[in-house]
Amino acid sequence: MELRQLRYLVAVVDEGGFTRAAARLHLAQPGLSSQIRQLERELGQPLLDRSGRSVTPTEVGRAVLPYARAALAAADAVRQTVDEHTGLLRGRVTLGLVSGATGHAFDVAAFLADFHASHPALEITLTEDTSERMQAALLAGEIDIALLGPTAEEPPPGLSYRTVIDAPLAAAVAPGDPLLGPEGPAGPGGPTGRTAVPLAELRDRPLICLPHGTGVRASLERGCARAGFRPRVAFEAASPQVLVQLAARGLGIAVLPLGEEGPGVGAGLRALPLEGAGLRARIVLARPATGPTSPAARALLDRLDNALPVVPESAGAEPWSPV
């Protein structure tokens, strides 16, 4: 009995047939079928039922499968352990990233290129999605680490957060908008002198915001609920740049994190912080509470911990000790 035969057996069961399994394993189908039959002859029992439209395990096959999977997992663990001790990381690691998570403050492409240069045998995957879906993917083990905007005030059970960006939400409006108030001498808030906007003043205004499933949208909706109204979101887009463009055309007030540039956000807009409890946009480095399960994920987390800024944890954030 050979490990590759057990790997072939598991692949055929997982794919439900020899054709898809052969494609997954990059093998010729006759060779794959021959190896499975050789394993069955050695064990003295059929492991697969080939009589139906799809290939399924026999009763003996179902009993054997857990042991086959365990043997393959043990072999992979042996390889990973040796790689750790020799400084050679193999395998695959997946990083999730929410759209607009870091802006110009963190060059994701440069970071991943440097990480790949340090670990050329490691396959790195980057996926972009909403924060809500990435939290679910983290809990399901589909991704290893994520930079996301929390959609709730506390991390869900099973995840740990480290805050890397924490900024107030702001209303970005075009010049002359009544929200800016009457013209006046220049001051800290810009030509109008106004430094902030009460959230209640957005009650009946069309808003432009990130979609559901993002931290900014969740923070806005929680703040409006506390203020006793539902936000009137007229337009939504996944890109902050598109929100700015829509607001510049007079289609509504864009709700965005206030960036380092202060009240100026481009396209002639002015951005003023929104007054209200909890109206903040946070980006967190999220991972399973028990820590990464593979050496590759641990290496990526260590590198991210060193590369990203340390921000004091606000309410609901659960700090971690680097692993």
User: What pLDDT digit, counting tens, does each position of 103-114 carry?
Assistant: 545 788 888 999
pLDDT for residue 93 is more than 50 = yes
Query: Percentage of residues in the chain with pLDDT exceeding 70?
Result: 85
What pLDDT does residue 10 have? 94
More confident residue, 183 or 243: 243
The residue type at 159: L
Assess whether pLDDT exceeds 80 at residue 320: no
Residue type, 128: E
* pLDDT tens sequence across 281-319: 888 999 999 888 788 888 899 999 888 887 765 544 444
pLDDT given at position 276 = 81
Confidence of residue 189 (pLDDT cuts 50, 70, 90): very low
* Domains, the chain, ordered by start: 3-86 (1.10.10.10), 91-164+283-307 (3.40.190.10), 165-281 (3.40.190.10)
CA 227 and chain centroid, separation:
30
Give SS3 for 132.
helix
For range 166-185, the mean pLDDT: 79
Radius of gyration of the chain (CA): 26
Tokens of 208: 């432009």
Kindly report, residue by residue over 19-73, the tens digit of the pLDDT.
999 998 888 999 999 999 999 999 999 999 998 888 999 999 999 999 999 999 9
